Chains A and B, each alone.
Chain A
Amino acid sequence: AQKVTQAQTEISVVEKEDVTLDCVYETRDTTYYLFWYKQPPSGELVFLIRRNSFDEQNEISGRYSWNFQKSTSSFNFTITASQVVDSAVYFCALSESNRDDKIIFGKGTRLHILP
């Protein structure tokens, strides 16, 4: 069965520190997709990234980077030089190719960036 685990319920770091949010997934499918979404205090869900299972290349977008490792079934998200505006709940999600776009979300990690 597919499952997404975000073991860190809540994290607090001081501004400018780097922080990594962990995501571990379970799936029996060989083709799947991983996502990260951000939910700021205003409540909306903001798409950050989608990664295919056959593309293990890490990705960097500004201060954000993602480390995808199939060997450990992890898709971790790192924010470099964190800012107060990064404070949000972050969700990791998984979708299997044979499941009609059904997507399973992790329970989220609440990130506090302290000034």
Chain B
Amino acid sequence: EAQVTQNPRYLITVTGKKLTVTCSQNMNHEYMSWYRQDPGLGLRQIYYSMNVEVTDKGDVPEGYKVSRKEKRNFPLILESPSPNQTSLYFCASAHVQGPYSNQPQHFGDGTRLSIL
């Protein structure tokens, strides 16, 4: 089954304790992205990656890191989490077939992070 898998689904942690949210896709997609969803703000892009070893900042990258060492994985790293990073996080992937592809993104089920 084609899917995007995020782990963990829920996490409560404390300020300053490094955490990683994993994202894995089994569709051989080149493109992967992280979003956060906050009430009244919709989804905002954090980072995205067009392929292995290629990452770029989205609209709200501060406080986050990503890496793309393998095509299937795109972990989101919070080196020193703070309460304002409490949010619902989504990972997404898509197949890129050229400059005009813009294939629909497949989303994971979301990770709810609470930073105390």
Contact = CB atoms under 8 A, between A and B. Distances in A.
Interface in B21-69: 31, 33, 35, 40-45, 48, 50, 56, 58-59
Interface of B: 31, 33, 35, 40-45, 48, 50, 56, 58-59, 88, 90, 92, 94, 96, 99-107, 109-110
Contacts, number: 59
A33 B35 CA distance: 19
A91 B35 CA distance: 13
A80 to B, nearest CB: 23
Contacts of A43: 88, 109-110
Nearest to B108: A44
For the complex of A and B, 3 pairs with smallest distance between CB atoms: A107-B42, A45-B107, A105-B43
Interface of A: 6, 31, 33, 35, 37, 43-45, 47, 50, 52, 91, 93, 95, 97-98, 100-108
Nearest to B59: A104
A102 B94 CA distance: 11
Given A47-B106, A107-B42, 7 more contacts: A37-B107, A43-B109, A50-B103, A93-B43, A100-B48, A102-B48, A105-B43
A101 B110 contact: no
A95 to B, nearest CB: 5
Contacts of A97: 99-100, 102
Contacts of A52: 100
A107 B41 contact: yes
Nearest to B107: A45
